[in-house]
Structure 1
Amino acid sequence: MARTPRSWRLARRSAILLLLVLGAGALAAAAPTWLRTSGATALDADVQVHVTGTTAAPGVGAGALVVVAAALALGLVGRIGRWVVLVVAAASGVVVSASAAAILRDPVPAATSAVAEATGVTEMTSAVTLTPWPAVATAVGVLVVVAAVWAAVSSPSWGRVSARHEIVRPAAGTPVARREASTAEAGIDAPGSPAPSGAPGRAAQPPEAGPADEPDEQETWDSLTRGEDPTDR
């Protein structure tokens, strides 16, 4: 069953909205704390260190911003540009997912860097604790890739359906245009067009009757001078 213009517009808007939601979701997942650990200084034996997702995995925040930008651009670009936008969106989803998965595999380097920044030493006094947010960000990145692939699969129908519902005027030289030209030359009017003056095959309209001829004023006075009745003619 062929899609209607409303359905292909809905599909495009759904793709844009889905990418926007997923990009915002990746940003939201990167904001909370991902890692917890502790260190020590000469003045404080227990320094609690909390590492957010944007600090532990900068690629998540950057990729999420690119996904949002790609979603906005999807509503503006043309037929070729949409493929570029969707490829960029899928690549950004891969970056988000890979950055978050790297923290899940080995959170120690990110925790060590955060402890060194907080205490001045790289030695941690407790184990690294992970929150659920790295796993959430990984899942959101995978969903971004799936959404970009779905939009790419449904993307060709956007142009086909819109072109099928456009009214195109026949160009010069086509059989329809030649038939219209021959019809105009033969004097056959198109429906709803005004009838041309002097067209063959149509009875000429009689000229409108003008006002009655007025008698000449000088001749009237001459007749009166001669003693004649000017009205008796």
Structure 2
Amino acid sequence: MSTASSASSVTRPPRWARKSTLVLAITILALAVFGATTQTWIEVRLDPAGASNSDLHVQGNKAATAVTALAVVALAGGLAASIAGTIARWITAALIALSAAGIILAAVTVILDPLGAAQGSIAAATGVSGGQADASVTAFPVLAIIAGSLLAVFAVVLPLAGRHWTSRTKYDAAARGKTSSNEPVDEIDSWDSLSRGEDPT
């Protein structure tokens, strides 16, 4: 087979299936969830009938402690997907999907019961739990739900897109014995080539 015909037989993955696109999207979404947990999720007025300023601002990592850890898991999963083989990629996708489900569930719980989610912070601030207070949620739990939902979508897409990745890692390339010089690569594959001392161009 000639070089020209070999090059024409290899098609570049569609944009949605590119490794760099998916890894970047998962990373950004996981960081968005993580960043949201550092913001105020619940505004609490400790003395609803009082005129004094007795507001308490409860951050997401206090209102829904699991969300921060789940965001880190999703971030690690997205980065691991860039070097994972076929089986590992399915496992990674499952972990990202479970993390996304946990993020959504925790954020919905805060929205449905903000006062209950703020009780730990109220007790820490006042020394009294179960006291009278008004609580309202901000937009950040909603942001976490949106980002978590998109993470779940990308978790489903990830193993499907992986079938278009002709050279997933330097280890896969070594197992095949050689990689065609005409094989299309994305940005992450280029970094793999550079780490092996090869010129990806």
State if a TM-score over 0.5 links the two structures: yes
Residue aligning to 1:16 = 23
Out of 53, 57, 70, the residue aligned to residue 63 of structure 1 is 70
What amino acid is aligned across from residue 77 of structure 2 in structure 1? A
Alignment of 1:76-115 (within 5 A): 76-115=83-122
What amino acid is aligned across from residue 78 of structure 2 in structure 1? A
**Residues 124 and 38 of structure 1, relative CA distance in 2, 3 Å threshold:** farther
List structure 1 runs of 4+ shifted beyond 3 angstroms. 5-10, 123-126, 159-163
Residue identity over aligned pairs, in percent, reads 27
Deviation at 1:141, TM superposition (A): 0.6
Residue aligning to 1:74 = 81
What amino acid is aligned across from residue 99 of structure 1 in structure 2? A
Q: Which structure has the greater CA radius of gyration?
A: 1
Structure 2 gaps of 5+ residues are 1-7, 181-201
More helix by share: 2
**Residues 2 and 54 of structure 1, relative CA distance in 2, 3 Å threshold:** farther
Q: Does 1:32 align with 2:52?
A: no
Q: TM-score, normalised to structure 1's length?
A: 0.61
State the number of aligned residues. 162
1:57–1:100 contact (8 Å) kept in structure 2: yes
Deviation at 1:6, TM superposition (A): 6.4
**Residues 125 and 11 of structure 1, relative CA distance in 2, 3 Å threshold:** same
Q: How far, CA to CA, are the matches of 1:70 and 1:2 in structure 2?
A: 32
1:23–1:67 contact (8 Å) kept in structure 2: yes
Residue aligning to 1:157 = 164
Q: How far, CA to CA, are the matches of 1:8 and 1:138 in structure 2?
A: 25
Q: Does 1:129 align with 2:129?
A: no
The structure whose RCO (Cα within 8 Å, separation 6+) is larger is 2
Structure 1 gaps of 5+ residues are 168-233
Q: TM-score, normalised to structure 2's length?
A: 0.70
Residue aligning to 1:192 = none
Deviation at 1:87, TM superposition (A): 0.9
* SS class of match (2:18): helix
